[in-house]
């Protein structure tokens, strides 16, 4: 990516480390506007199209909030029912039409590669808000922001990814992003749900220290961040096996007894049983803050792409 102005955001791998840091710094400056304490109208007159071919709560609302906090307008749909897509229109045609109605297109789609295809047909910048099991780069940026803001650093951070590392798209993109920095990673999952080989290779190629285990207790004393993801029931043919595995990845107060005082627990949400509700009240819990950070991070990105005040 040579310049942010007018650029598509399809995959976290499109960014350099410097570009990631630039977004994070601007996201921090956006916090007073994201919370409504200050106003910023730098994107007044600009329109964002939010095309959600698949339901989403946090991503869609935080994009809308981000655009409106910067003075811009939003149009779009939250599900494809009632649109011409249901009449059999191709994605390419939908994009050509929307391209004429707005200044930036945000797309979530159930098929992998949909955002890249949209970018091929749009003259306006396209932001990927999740394509099937593929990429979700703005989620990765807000995860990085939460770690950077909470620890004050990314280089030197010790981060454990926990849960379904095989199928979870957030942990794949996050691994790619964290391996741009000098991080110390741990992959904690049952053997059947461990991180795919190519991502493990990617971390090793960078020469980063890596630990792979199935037991959180192996790393709980040392890590700065526990990034927890949901283990989906449908991944297990045997319900008993699921219950056994899911139980061992539950974060609760007894488990946290040996943790660093500064430990941050993150989760892309929605959570089911992975984090006990009593953890919410502890200083470790950062998942709601993480969800809020989506607004300031998306404000930073929109501002850079649409040429706002920065």
Partner 1 sequence: MRELRVQPIKNGTVIDHIPSGMALKVLKILGISDNVASTVTVAMHVASSKMKWKDIVKVEDRELNPREVDKICLIAPSATVNVVRNYNVAEKRRVSLPEKAVGILKCGNPNCITNQREPVETVFLVSSKAPLVLKCRYCDRIIEDVASCIL
Distance CA 65, CA 142 (A): 15
* Rounded Cα distance, 265 and 275, in Å: 9
Minimum distance between the CB of residue 226 and partner 1, rounded to whole angstroms?
Answer: 27
Dihedral angle of Cα 72, 78, 81, 87, to the nearest 10 degrees: 50
Query: Judged by CB under 8 A, does residue 1 bind partner 1?
Result: no
Is residue 97 close enough to count as binding partner 1 by CB under 8 A? no
Contact status: 132 vs partner 1 (CB under 8 A): yes
With CB under 8 A as the contact rule, the residue among 12, 34, 91, 180 that binds partner 1 is: 91
For 113-148, letters b (16+ CB in 10 Å) and e give ebbbbbbebbebbbbbbbbbebbbbbbbbbbbbbbb
| x-marked contacts with partner 1 along 221-250 as a string, rule CB under 8 A | ------------------------------
The piece of 113-121, 152-160, 210-218, 263-271 that touches partner 1 (CB under 8 A) is 113-121
205 touches partner 1 (CB under 8 A): no
For residue 176, the minimal CB distance to partner 1 (Å) is 10
Among 92, 97, 243, 253, binds partner 1 (CB under 8 A): 92
**DSSP H or E stretch at residue 116:** helix 114-121
Strand partners, 74: 48
Q: Hey, which residues are catalytic here?
A: 58-59, 87, 108, 136
Beta strands 225-228 and 126-131, pairing class = unpaired
In the block, which residue shows the tokens 């780069």? 137
Interface residue with partner 1, options 38, 44, 97, 112 (CB under 8 A): 112
What residues line the site for partner 1 (CB under 8 A)? 11, 90-92, 109-114, 116-117, 120, 131-135, 198
């Amino acid at each position: 990516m040579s310049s942010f102005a007018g650029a598509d955001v399809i995959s976290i791998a499109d960014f350099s480390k410097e570009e990631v840091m630039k977004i994070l710094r601007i996201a921090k400056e956006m916090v007073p506007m994201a919370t409504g304490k200050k106003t910023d109208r730098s994107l007044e007159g600009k329109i964002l199209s939010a095309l959600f071919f698949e339901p989403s709560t946090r991503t869609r609302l935080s994009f809308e909030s981000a655009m409106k906090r910067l003075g811009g307008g939003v149009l779009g749909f939250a599900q494809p029912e009632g649109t011409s897509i249901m009449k059999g229109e191709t994605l390419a045609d939908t994009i050509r039409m929307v391209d004429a109605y707005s200044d930036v297109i945000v797309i979530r789609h159930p098929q992998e590669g949909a955002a890249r295809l949209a970018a091929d047909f749009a003259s306006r910048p396209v932001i990927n808000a999740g394509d099937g099991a593929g990429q979700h780069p703005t989620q990765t940026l807000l995860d990085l922001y939460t770690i950077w803001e909470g620890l004050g650093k990314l280089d030197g951070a010790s981060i454990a990814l926990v849960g379904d590392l095989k199928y979870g798209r957030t942990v794949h993109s996050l691994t790619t992003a964290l391996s741009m920095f000098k991080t110390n990673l741990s992959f904690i999952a049952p053997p059947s749900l461990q991180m795919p080989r190519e991502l493990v290779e990617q971390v090793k190629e960078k020469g980063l220290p890596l630990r792979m285990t199935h037991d959180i207790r192996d790393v709980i004393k040392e890590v700065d961040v526990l990034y927890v993801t949901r283990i989906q029931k449908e991944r297990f043919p045997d319900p008993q096996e699921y219950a056994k595995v899911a139980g061992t990845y539950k974060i609760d107060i007894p488990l946290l007894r040996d943790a660093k005082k500064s430990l941050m627990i993150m989760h892309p949400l929605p959570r089911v049983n992975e984090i006990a509700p009593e953890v919410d009240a502890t200083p470790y819990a950062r998942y709601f803050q993480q969800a809020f950070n989506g607004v300031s991070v998306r404000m930073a990105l929109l501002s850079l792409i649409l040429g706002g005040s920065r």
